Homo-oligomer: A and B are copies of this chain.
Amino acid sequence: MFEMKSFAQQYQRELLDNVIPFWLQHSKDTEHGGFFTCLDRYGNVFDTDKFIWLQGRQVWMFSMLYNNVEKKQEWLDMALHGADFLEKYGRDEEGSFYFSLDQTGKPLIQPYNIFSDCFAAMAFGALYKAVPNPRYAEIAKQTFANIVRRQNNPKGKYSKAYPGTRELKNFALPMILCNLSLELEHILGSDTVNEFIPGVLHEVMDVFYHEETGLILENVFLDGSFSDSFEGRLLNPGHAIEAMWFIMDLAERLNDPALAQKANDIALRTLEYGWDKEHGGIFYFLDIKGAPTQQLEWDQKLWWVHLETLVCLAKGYQKTGDERNAEWFKIVHEYTWNHFKDKEYNEWFGYLDRRGDVLLNLKGGKWKGCFHVPRGLYQVWKTLEKPVFASKEERLSI
């Protein structure tokens, strides 16, 4: 049998000796605060804009490491450095986080995108665990309330859709709320989270779930039905698989092994469907009817898709003991480490073409920051260290 556990140390070492040092060394803007994320292969800054998703995610990452791995002062300092910038410059007068700022903190792109709020709330939630300053809890709490308030119209006045013709809702928000509600439980309280969970769980596992194929759609009509349009036909395998490990975390929280099993089955089906049989790796976008996608980047192989898949396979294995997880883990692990890891310099590549060659040799940019690589390495490391909840033998003997 393939020994999943034997990989734990490899993930741990890569996280602590390679990836985190890259961000510690290169991303801190000591002049204006916050983090540079547009870093080339060697760690040089090639653009100075500050993207709120990535500012928030990096604060979360260093807070989380401080909370869960080791009380290292330099990790906490990084988290505080980013949080300070976010607190000072991140929000408009309504408390919504901008999408981006310039290097000095002046707003560039308006809060048209609700995920800035999501990642900022995560950031202040995790930081509050490290430093129990009530201001951090307050920002997390208010931002969460803001997300809930905006959730049915997340783009607000920035939406270009004409009202009424084709009202769609998008998978990303309920998916992230699954994760965010657990991330903020220490602030929101268990009662609030208990009330909140059934709704988002229903959205992810029933509403966006496409019965006919057993896959998860990116966009559906408000009533949950299928829209035969570019948006409605869209599949994002990485997104669906990432969501399934959020659901497995919820299953643990709810003590519901059947839910974990169901999530694992969807993830495996999605992976099977999204795997590129010709060149290896997982496609970025697909059309559920096999039509051409709008996204020209559909066939590219992205770092986060592969890291989230490794996390999901590890968690699914730990929770179900399903041997398919171990088999797939080996395949995805090999593809990921062979293609995304930069063998010469720290951190990993983010964007490969279909054949697995590097498409952009950056280590960070507008969307790639200190998040999916280190979070993925951390999650796999910690998951593989746990005992397998139910090995196949155990399940058979029950």
A interface residues (Cβ-Cβ under 8 A, vs B): 38, 40, 46-47, 49, 98-99, 102, 106-110, 112, 157-158, 160-162, 165-166, 229-230, 289, 291-294, 296-300, 351, 353-354, 359-362, 365-366
Smallest CB gap from A300: residue in B:
B296
- A291 touching B47 by the CB < 8 A rule? yes
Chain B nearest CB, measured from A317 CB (Å):
32
- A161 touching B110 by the CB < 8 A rule? yes
7 closest A-B pairs by beta carbon, nearest first, are A296-B297, A107-B162, A46-B291, A292-B360, A292-B362, A106-B165, A112-B160
Residue numbers in B under 8 Å from A161 (CB-CB) = 108-110
Can you list 23 A-B pairs with a CB-CB distance of less than 8 A? A40-B291, A40-B292, A46-B291, A49-B230, A99-B160, A102-B166, A106-B162, A107-B162, A107-B165, A108-B162, A109-B160, A110-B160, A292-B361, A292-B362, A292-B365, A294-B366, A296-B296, A296-B297, A296-B351, A296-B360, A297-B297, A298-B360, A299-B359
Residue numbers in B under 8 Å from A158 (CB-CB) = 158, 160
Residue numbers in B under 8 Å from A291 (CB-CB) = 38, 40, 46-47
Report which of B112, B162, B289, B354 forms a contact with A109, defined as CB distance below 8 A: B162
- B162 touching A359 by the CB < 8 A rule? no
Number of copies of this chain in the oligomer? 2
Chain B nearest CB, measured from A282 CB (Å):
15
The CA-CA distance from A294 to B364 in the complex, in Å, is: 11
Residue numbers in B under 8 Å from A112 (CB-CB) = 160
- Would A46 and B292 be within 8 Å (CB), given that A107-B162, A112-B160, A299-B359 are in contact? yes
The CA-CA distance from A5 to B289 in the complex, in Å, is: 45
- Would A108 and B362 be within 8 Å (CB), given that A40-B291, A160-B99 are in contact? no
- B162 touching A230 by the CB < 8 A rule? no
The CA-CA distance from A351 to B296 in the complex, in Å, is: 8
Residue numbers in B under 8 Å from A289 (CB-CB) = 46
Chain B nearest CB, measured from A50 CB (Å):
12
